[in-house]
């Protein structure tokens, strides 16, 4: 059984922190405070440069990111590294894009920490589906057209997608697909084959919430070719459903007008200590 992190204890601790979808201003205050006091930070591929820039120069940084067909470190090795660093008395920051518990393997990591008796704390972050959709002007639910929302991963396995297709094509819902750019043609074709109209609106958002945000909208019938023409690259998020139509009048974010985050951030009085 692991203990909650005690900032006064000599023994090390692991803070599993959600870094949000990209814009550093979407970090929680708790995340920022822990980032400023960490001895060592293990960070993923999806943690934006703007967020990493908030780490103090004295914090040791270790990249453990996973990209398609390129894993810097196996998950088991990451788990062992967290344990080893904490046992040496470090305040270890495990920094993950989005939220640690949404397709972030956070549960696997703290399961190892708990088994090894390492104290840990989990700090939620704004997951990509929420942050990216908001900055794209696409509400994930709307009482006129979507009363439910599903989050799924779109990884290809052996060239195919192993998805619960009947669940994805139910009416009056929004489907958000993480990590599905490579398999976008198969995704669109599969949704159509299992019952969704080819005219169902859909969008792909690249690097959402950042100054590099780009959006391509279309239908299940046209989206794959439009995205190919636009040469979008990861990280991306796919949104499928009638709510995508609302973007025409709800689009508000202007990436080119985003001012760089000023440093240092002022922390409210009484919030400096952990």
Looking at the annotation, which residues are catalytic?
Answer: 44, 66
User: For 163, phi and psi rounded to 5 degrees?
Assistant: -120, 160
Q: How many CA atoms lie within 13 A of 26 on its CB side?
A: 25
Cα(249)–Cα(137) distance, rounded to whole angstroms?
8
The three-state secondary structure class of 167 is helix
Reduce the secondary structure of 16-67 to three states and give it as a string.
EEECECCCHHHCCHHHHHHHHHCCEEEECCCCCHHHHCCCCCCCEEEECCEE
Neighbour-count burial for 48-62, b at 16+ CB within 10 Å, e otherwise: bebbbebbeeebeee
Kind of pairing, strands 66-67 and 70-71?
antiparallel
Peptide bond just before 35 cis, omega within 30 deg: no
Spatial distance between the Cα atoms of 146 and 81, rounded to a whole number of angstroms: 43
**Can you tell me the distance from the alpha carbon of 102 to that of 111, in angstroms, rounded to the nearest whole number?**
15
């Amino acid at each position: 059984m692991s203990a909650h992190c005690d900032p006064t204890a000599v023994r090390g601790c692991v803070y599993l922190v959600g870094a949000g979808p990209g814009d550093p201003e979407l970090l929680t205050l708790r995340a920022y405070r822990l980032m400023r006091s960490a001895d060592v930070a293990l960070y993923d591929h999806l943690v934006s440069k703007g967020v990493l820039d908030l780490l103090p120069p004295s914090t040791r940084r270790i990249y453990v990111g996973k990209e398609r067909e390129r894993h810097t470190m196996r998950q088991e090795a990451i788990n062992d590294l967290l344990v080893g660093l904490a046992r040496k008395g470090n305040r270890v920051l495990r920094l993950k894009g989005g939220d640690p518990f949404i397709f972030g393997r956070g549960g696997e990591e703290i399961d190892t920490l708990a088994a090894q008796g390492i104290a840990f704390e989990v700090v939620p972050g704004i997951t990509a589906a929420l942050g990216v959709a908001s900055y794209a002007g696409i509400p994930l639910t709307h009482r006129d057209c979507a009363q439910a929302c599903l989050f799924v991963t779109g990884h290809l396995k052996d060239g195919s997608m192993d998805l619960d297709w009947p669940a994805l094509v139910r009416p009056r819902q929004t489907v958000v697909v993480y990590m599905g750019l490579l398999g976008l043609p198969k995704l669109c074709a599969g949704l159509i084959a299992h019952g969704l109209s080819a005219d169902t609106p859909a969008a792909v958002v690249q690097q959402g919430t950042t100054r590099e945000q780009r959006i391509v909208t279309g239908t299940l019938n046209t989206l794959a070719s439009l995205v190919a023409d636009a040469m979008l690259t990861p990280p991306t998020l796919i949104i499928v459903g009638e709510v995508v139509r609302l973007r025409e009048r709800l689009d508000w974010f202007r990436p080119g007008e985003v001012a760089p985050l000023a440093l240092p951030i002022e922390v409210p009085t009484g919030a400096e200590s952990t």
